[in-house]
Structures are given as C-alpha cells and as structure tokens.
Amino acid sequence: MSGPLPPLPLRAGSLPMTELFDLYMAHYAGRDPNRQWHLRWWAARIGTLPLAELSDDQVHAALEGLAQQTSRFYAGKDADGQPIYRGKPTPLSPATINRYAAALSAVITWAIKRRVAPKGYVHPCRSIERRHEDNEKTRFLDDDECRRLLDACKASSWPRLYLLVLMALTTGARKGELTGLTWGDVDLEGATATLQRTKNGQARVLPLTPAVVEELKRFAAGRSTLVFRSPKAAERVFKFEPKFLEALRQARIRGATFHTLRHSAASMLARNGATLLEVGDLLGHRQLQTTRRYSHLAVTHKAALVNRVLGGLR
C-alpha cells in the first residue's frame, strides 16, 4: 500500500457499508487472502445500507442465503490479476459460512474500536450463532503417512520440497507464511524463524527443530532473498504445488492438501501432551475455539492430568 491512509470519519452512522469496507481494507494489515473476496460478497448484499441501519436480522438472512449456495474454489488469476473462482456441486461447508460471518464481524468490530460506528452502536454480528463445524473430519497425516511423504519429498526434483514440508510439519505454519519467509527472517544460530506478517496481522516466532536448521543451512543465501524462491526470479516464490502433489502420489496419500500439514503438526502436538493453549499459540490462533478441533486428540494428556490432580480422592 502506498500513499497516506484515508482519514476515518467520526461516528459516521450514515456511512454506506460499501464505503466502510473500502476504509477497512485500506487500513487492513492482515494477510487473509480471502478477506477482500468475502467483503465483496457482503457489499453486493448490504453495500447500500448505512452502517447505523445494519441489523442482525439482515446479517442472518444473508448468511441463510449463502448456505443455499454451492461451493467454489480458487483457480488462479485472470489477465488483469483478478482472482478466478470455479463452481463445485457440493454445498458450502459450515466453516466457510463462518468465515464470511467472521469477515463482516471484523469490520464492525474495527469500526466500533476506531469510533467510526455511532456511540452506543450494538454489534449486529454478536447475536449471530456460529454454525457447527464438524471438526472430527479434519484430515491429518498419521505417523506412517508423514514418514512416507518426507521420503517422497527427499526424492523430489525440487531440492527444497523436503525442507518446505518438514517446516510445515514441525512448525504448523501456513503455506503463505512459509513461502513468504526471507533469509533475513531466519536465525540459524537461535533456531527460529520470524513471520513478520501473518493471517491475523501479528508477527509470530517459529521454533525450528535441529533437522530443519540443518536443512536450511544447505540453502542459506542473502537476507532479502526468499527461502523458497523461484530459480528464475529471486523475488518470486517457486510454484511448488505440482511437485507437492507428485510427492503425495508417490507416498500413496489421498485426501490431503498442503494445509493438512498444519493440521498434522497440531494433532501430533495434541497427541503427545501439548495443551490446547500451547497448540493455539504455536499455530497463531487468536481464539481458543479454533484450536478445539484438536481437543479429542489430547485424551492421554487429559487423563494424566486428572489422575495426577484428582487420582488421590477416595
């Protein structure tokens, strides 16, 4: 973003929602690639409404309509750099609908905190119930699948695929967080990597395992250079997706995506005694509710806690 930020109007209850969305995005410091897309969807439905007149009934009605739509997937960008989305026959998941609701809620919260909303304004999303997300279906790799995938990555024609996948499995970082790393973000002596900008807009430090540090040392370069750069252009990320999909095929793994590695890191931590707070902190979750999808994996840890604290009661 270049140039000065637009000034924020004070207590602007008559401000149309479309203009509020534009103001919010002009000040937005997060890295959610879908935030603008979600707000465009909202603008098409409530964009002409003044901020002060937006009600929870209107938000509820819009989300109910959204639930009747079929899902779409990102298919790259067109010649003008605009995102392309293609349709799928399946309905939108509760998690997807919750993301749309969260995007609007974030804008309203921002408007209240920055005093753009009228004094005493009641947040119209507060009474909107989150849809239940079936977290039991979260896909993660078991230990054998992790081993097979790492072996396949070692054999890949792209020499950094093993490093990328190993970092994803041991840090739980998102794809965009890892591919955005520069060598200036990496401290090999301290065994850490700093994510300067994350999905929620807050910097986060990743602890690196000895195996990751050893692998990083093989490729270390200039501070401004991307760790996972394209060999043709140092300022561009290597398009590794085909290599990753090939590794999945070679490892005989079905139903997994790169994001599955993030779930896998969390599940391994939960299964080996990490608390939900520790898992959420490593993954950069802002709300504990997001981390609860892994709570059923922490049975051993919870059993040990109960026995240690309460086991002596007779």
Mean pLDDT of 260-266: 92
Q: How confident is the model at residue 269 (pLDDT cuts 50, 70, 90)?
A: confident
pLDDT recorded at residue 167: 96
The percent of residues above 70 in pLDDT, for the chain, comes to 83
Is the per-residue pLDDT at 309 higher than 70? no
Return the pLDDT at 206: 93
Where are the domains positioned within the chain? Answer: 17-132, 143-299
Q: How far is CA 188 from the centre of its chain?
A: 25
**What kind of architecture, by CATH, is found in domain 143-299?**
Orthogonal Bundle (1.10)
Identify the pLDDT of residue 270: 82
Two tokens, residue 133: 């997300």
Is 1.10.3470 the CATH classification of the domain at 17-132? no
Whether 67 shows a pLDDT value over 70: the answer reads yes
From the list 138, 60, 66, the residue with the least C-alpha distance to 96 is 66
Answer whether residue 192 shows pLDDT above 60. Answer: yes
Structure tokens at 115: 């005093």
Residue 273 has pLDDT above 70, yes or no: yes
Lowest mean pLDDT among 50-59, 63-72, 135-144, 254-263: 135-144
Helices (H), the chain: 17-27, 35-46, 56-67, 94-113, 143-154, 161-171, 175-179, 210-217, 241-250, 258-271, 276-283, 288-291, 299-310
Q: Are 227 and 182 in contact (CB under 8 A)?
A: yes
Confidence of residue 179 (pLDDT cuts 50, 70, 90): very high
Structure tokens at 8: 């924020």
**Residue 98: is its pLDDT beyond 80?**
yes
141 pLDDT exceeds 90?
yes
Tokens of 269: 């931590």
Q: C-alpha 58: how far from its chain's center? A: 27
- The pLDDT assigned to 33 comes to 78
